Amino acid sequence: MAEKKSLNQKIAELDAQVEWFYSDEFKLEEAVEKYRSATKLAKEIEKDLMELKNEIEVLSADFSK
């Protein structure tokens, strides 16, 4: 089973994937697959952030009582 990555690890990985598009290693033939991978990772990050936001809202509501 794959180890679950932290949000910081996912963001660092996405940064590296985006940097590839600006690097000398860029190849048009690989761009579509790299774009798909980056998009999938960005969606995972967005989901993680929404979960954190919801958790913070619940905690905030608890403290306001």
pLDDT digits (tens, 9 = 90+) for 22-46: 999 999 999 999 999 999 999 999 9
* Residue 18 phi, psi (nearest 5): -65, -40
Number of structural domains in the chain = 1
22 in a structural domain = yes
18 in a structural domain = yes
Q: What is the span of the domain harbouring residue 33?
A: 7-63
| pLDDT of 18 over the 80 cut | yes
2 in a structural domain = no
29 in a structural domain = yes
pLDDT for position 65: 62
pLDDT for position 61: 81
pTM, to two decimals: 0.81
Looking at residue 3, the DSSP 8-state letter turns out to be: P
Looking at residue 4, the DSSP 8-state letter turns out to be: P
- 25 closest CA partner among 17, 15, 37: 17
44 in a structural domain = yes
